[in-house]
Amino acid sequence: MALTFDDGPQSVYTPQILDILKRYNIKATFFLIGKNVEAFPELVKRIKDEGHSIGNHTYDHPDIRFQNHKQIRQQIEKTEKAIIDATGVKPYLFRPPYGFDSNLLLKEAENLGYAIILWSVSGLNGRQDAPSAKIVHRVVDNVQNGSIILLHDGNRLSSKTDRSQIVKALPVIIEALQKRGYQFVTIDELLFEKGE
């Protein structure tokens, strides 16, 4: 199964999440917002240097359903440039904001060399007020082999969003799932295992 984090990086919570992942020797996939990449390039470099995968999550998290092909392309390309500037590596994974996709988005992402990645289990933590216990139960009760778990380390609107509930929930989720025999991999590894 794959742990994924959306909307970062964020200066307070992304480092704490990285520390937790390091402590458990787990690699994850981070879907980054371009404007946050530009604000915190050192965190993006750390994500890469610690062996995690990086995906594109648009520049400022618009509702893709209301974007034309040129706007979609600009959102993807601007974020791609920011990630390359921070890491030297071009991402090939793309997660559309809110999980919305369309034929237009699929075509633009494919033309730019991206694989679209959604999720199968959400920790409900897009809501800032979701308590950590609820996040833990939502994830632990709904996973199965091959699950892609959606959590958030940042926020599309504010770098001041409180993600402490994720920091609190993450070790509990990891330990509960490891106890059940699950192994965590990056999206890259998950796709490779499935032969995609």
Question: Domains, the chain, ranges and CATH?
Answer: 2-194 (3.20.20.370)
The predicted structure's pLDDT at residue 84: 99
| Residue of 52, 57, 61, 152 marked active site | 152
Whether the pLDDT of residue 128 is over 60: the answer is no
69 in catalytic set: no
* Phi-psi group of 72: left, alpha or beta (phi > 0 → left; psi -120 to 50 → alpha; rest → beta): alpha
CB-count burial class (<10 Å; 0-12, 13-18, 19+) for 144: exposed
The predicted structure's pLDDT at residue 125: 54
Q: 61 or 24: whose pLDDT is higher?
A: 24
Mean pLDDT in residue range 58-77 = 90
The predicted structure's pLDDT at residue 2: 98
Task: Tell me the per-residue pLDDT of 89-126, one tens digit each, with 9 for 90 and over.
Answer: 999 999 998 888 778 888 899 999 999 999 999 987 55
Residues in the chain: 196
Which of 17, 190, 61 has its CA nearest to residue 117?
190
| Residue of 6, 57, 61, 153 marked active site | 6
The predicted structure's pLDDT at residue 15: 98
In the chain, where does DSSP find H-type helix? Answer: 13-23, 34-39, 41-49, 69-87, 103-111, 132-140, 164-179, 187-194
Which of 142, 113, 136, 147 has its CA nearest to residue 2?
147
Q: How far apart are CA 30 and CA 7, in angstroms?
A: 8
6 in catalytic set: yes
Block residue for tokens 């920011």: 82
Which of 116, 64, 73 has its CA nearest to residue 95?
116
And the tokens for 152? 């958030």
Q: 22 or 126: whose pLDDT is higher?
A: 22
Cβ density class 35-73: b for 16+ within 10 Å, e for less: bbbbbbbebbebbbeeebbbbbbbbebbebeebeeeebe
Whether the pLDDT of residue 17 is over 80: the answer is yes
The predicted structure's pLDDT at residue 154: 81
* Three-state helix/strand/coil letters over 43-67: HHHHHHHCCCEEEECCCCCCCHHHC
